[in-house]
């Protein structure tokens, strides 16, 4: 299924679906940003509706993913919970992995404990009905989803500050935030909050200021590469290894 087409009439965004038993695999091709997500999200909701229990996402061919893409995935996860289904990210590109890591959202898209118990057999580490443990798992996941979505405003504001202050593109500002977060071992949302507070007089630490300054300079000197596609961290199923449009 093709979600959108570029000016050369080749698919700019593609959603491929493969159903096997209770699991449905979905492979996405193309960037996940504010312009593409509305189209892709409709395809994902349709795949979720049709799957019996589990939706496995293969995001190897997603070279860029911003907070519009993350919010789309979070909404998909919440919709799945309502219908007693699961959404997991089976494989992903470095861009997606980096976003999940810095937002602390990776665990939200791994197989929940109740699903693992079903695959490996009954639990032996404690008494209690399995449906009680499953309810606890879902409660934890909902809490984590809400926390991840609540951190977005501060991160968007921080990115806007870098765009306005240093004349960066949104992508370059995002790269500077991520680089600073990694180099200072600071959660992205905490770094964003500190940066936003600095506008109101809060002083950033010397360590953060130094790394942020270096990250901004690097972002300013790095030309945009919209067509660059990083090597995937995991392989997609053979059924989806054909080139887009074939």
What's the CA gap between 110 and 71, in Å, rounded? Answer: 17
User: 171-203, pLDDT tens digit by residue?
Assistant: 888 888 888 988 898 888 888 888 888 877 788
Query: What own/partner pairs with CB < 8 Å and gap ≥ 24 does 1-4 have?
Result: 1/43, 2/245, 3/30, 3/36, 3/39, 3/40, 3/42, 3/43, 4/30, 4/36, 4/39
Q: 13 or 230: whose pLDDT is higher?
A: 13
Residue 233 host element (H or E):
none
Question: How far apart, in Å, are the Cα atoms of 169 and each of 11, 105, 149?
Answer: 25, 25, 23
Domain boundaries defined on the chain: 2-93+104-150+229-240, 153-221
User: 206-223, pLDDT tens digit by residue?
Assistant: 999 999 999 999 888 876
What integer pLDDT is reported at residue 192 of this predicted model? 86
pTM listed for this prediction:
0.51
Confidence of residue 137 (pLDDT cuts 50, 70, 90): low
Question: Which CATH superfamily groups domain 2-93+104-150+229-240?
Answer: STAS domain (3.30.750.24)
């Amino acid at each position: 299924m093709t979600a959108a087409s570029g000016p050369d009439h080749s698919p700019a965004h593609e959603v491929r679906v493969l159903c096997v038993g209770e699991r449905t695999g979905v492979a996405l091709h193309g960037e996940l940003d504010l312009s593409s997500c509305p189209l892709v999200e409709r395809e994902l909701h349709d795949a979720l509706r049709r799957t019996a229990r589990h939706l496995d996402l293969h995001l190897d061919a997603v070279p860029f993913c911003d907070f519009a893409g993350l919010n789309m995935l979070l909404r998909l996860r919440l919709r799945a919970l309502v219908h007693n289904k699961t959404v997991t990210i089976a494989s992903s590109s470095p861009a997606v992995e980096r976003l999940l890591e810095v937002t602390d959202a990776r665990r939200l898209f791994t197989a929940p404990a109740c699903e693992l118990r079903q695959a490996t057999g009954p639990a032996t580490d404690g008494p209690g009905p399995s449906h009680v443990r499953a309810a606890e798992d879902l409660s934890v996941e909902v809490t984590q989803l809400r926390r991840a979505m609540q951190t977005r405003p501060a991160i968007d504001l921080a990115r806007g500050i870098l765009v306005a202050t240093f004349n960066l593109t949104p992508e370059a500002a995002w790269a500077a935030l991520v680089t600073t977060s990694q180099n200072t071992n600071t959660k992205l949302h905490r770094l964003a909050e500190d940066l936003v507070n600095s506008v109101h007089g809060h002083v950033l630490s010397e360590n953060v200021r130094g790394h942020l300054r270096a990250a901004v300079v690097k972002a300013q000197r790095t030309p945009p590469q919209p067509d660059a596609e990083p090597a995937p961290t995991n392989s997609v199923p053979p059924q989806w290894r054909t080139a887009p449009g074939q």
